[in-house]
Amino acid sequence: MLFHGAKSEITGEIDIYRGRSNNDFGQGFYTGESYEQAISFVSGFEHSSVYYIRFNDTSLKCKRYKVDQEWMMTIAYYRGALDEYKEHPTIKMLAEQSRDCDYIIAPIADNRMFQIINSFINGEITDEQCKHCLAATNLGMQYIFISEKAVSQAKLIERCYISDNEREYYKNIRLEDAKLGDNKVKLARRQYRGKGLYIDEILV
């Protein structure tokens, strides 16, 4: 069972082509393992809801990521932060590998985490500092369907409307989590200062 936080209603079948191309892993249909996490991402929208999705992964090809350099740089590529390196063989390879599957399982990166990745791309911190900062702000795992075959094996089961009280509750939780994560990030930046490689040392 997976969950999708929606700002509005999903009409018809799941569509992998309606999502933005500058999401974490490009265009696709994004879901997560946690109902609470799905709510928190759409808690700021008045008509938001959470969909329950039953997913059967039989005979599907999966690409898995963990919090490492490959994950950071792939997200940076899709979010448009690596345009000056997009012709580099390493970046081309990462892009190709990210689409050679039916669905992706990867750590979630929200906008706050992307700011950390951006610090790495801009040469402000090393890959080791970036990795440990991101690990300190764990948001759970996301499942991204990127092929027609994957969405054909994903079924919308139920739509749950979010009450005003619920929305407010999860907005506050997210704010508290953000404060805690920020403190962990500061600690990780100090602890791993001088360790690892800068972006221009990796993409030489």
Question: How much is the pTM?
Answer: 0.87
Which residue did the predictor score with more confidence, 61 or 117?
61
Averaged pLDDT for residues 61-83: 92
Name which residue leads in pLDDT, 50 or 18. 50
33: exposed, middle or buried (C-beta count within 10 Å: 0-12, 13-18, 19+)? middle
Tokens 């994903």 correspond to 154
Averaged pLDDT, 8-36: 86
Residues 6+ apart with CB under 8 A from 34: 3, 140
Q: Are strands 49-55 and 154-161 parallel, antiparallel or unpaired?
A: antiparallel
pLDDT number for residue 181: 65
Mean pLDDT of 142-171: 90
Q: In the predicted model, what is the mean pLDDT of residues 71-79?
A: 91
117-145 pLDDT per residue, tens: 888 988 888 999 988 888 777 678 999 99
CA 85 to chain centre: 21
